[in-house]
Amino acid sequence: MLVFFKERLVFLSVPKTGTTAYELALRDRADIVVSDPPELKHAPVYRYNRFFRPMFEKVCGVEMETLAVMREPVSWLGSWYRYRRRDFMTGKPNATHDVSFDDFVRAYMKGDPPGFANVGRQSRFLEPRPNGTGVTHMFRYEDRARLDAFLAERLGQTFATTSENVSPHMELTLSPGVEKRLRQKFHEEFELYDSIP
């Protein structure tokens, strides 16, 4: 999570959406950088609303805008799958070395997914709260040019990102039946993604 206080902007760090690259590129420009522990670095809207928003409003007397990036849902799951196939994951319970991508997604769709497929949901991370707190500015992972232009204008400076925390490259495709089930069961993920300009 990055906080640009003067610009009244908080960059929420949705996992597997390239936010580590932005954290490294903009950490010297940010007023607050939350890079650890992961539960705070990747604070979803509900956690931001409960802990961070009151701090800004009550202590500083300001209302902040929020920014977040969402990745196309199948691509997002593919990134998690590949991330958990890295060499150092060998032998660990969350490793996906011995699981096909179809099986990973089938496990993800279970009511109580096994650890290797328990990766959460972007729509829940980004879900607005009953008090109206939500994401002010939403961007697609696949449209970094739009995000970069927004940040450059808002922060008054250009910057360059590098690839960080990248999952191993693999060509992944879901079988048509599994993808159809995923789109039906988690239609909110696809609808939210499709709603981003």
- Please state, rounded to an integer, the average pLDDT across all residues of the chain: 95
Number of domains the chain is built from = 1
Report the relative pairing of strands 9-11 and 2-4 from DSSP bridges.
antiparallel
Low-confidence stretches of the chain (pLDDT < 50) are none
Residue found under tokens 């089930």: 181
The span from the CA of 68 to the CA of 84, in Å, is 23
pLDDT, residue 133, reads: 95
Query: pTM of the prediction?
Result: 0.93
On whether the CB atoms of residues 76 and 21 are closer than 8 A, the answer is no
Contacts 24+ apart (CB under 8 A), 159-164: 159/25, 159/26, 159/29, 160/25, 161/18, 161/21, 161/22, 161/24, 161/25, 162/21, 162/24, 162/25, 163/21, 164/18, 164/20, 164/21, 164/24
pLDDT, residue 7, reads: 98
Whole domain around residue 140: which residue ranges? 2-195
Longest dimension (CA), the chain: 52
End-to-end Cα separation, the chain, in angstroms: 23
pLDDT in tens, 71-115: 999 999 999 999 999 999 999 999 999 999 999 999 999 999 999
pLDDT, residue 43, reads: 96
- Residue 57 backbone phi and psi in degrees, to 5: -75, -45
Phi-psi region of 36 (alpha: psi -120 to 50; beta: other; left: phi over 0): beta
On whether the CB atoms of residues 79 and 16 are closer than 8 A, the answer is yes
On whether the CB atoms of residues 139 and 150 are closer than 8 A, the answer is yes
Residue 189: give its domain's CATH number. 3.40.50.300
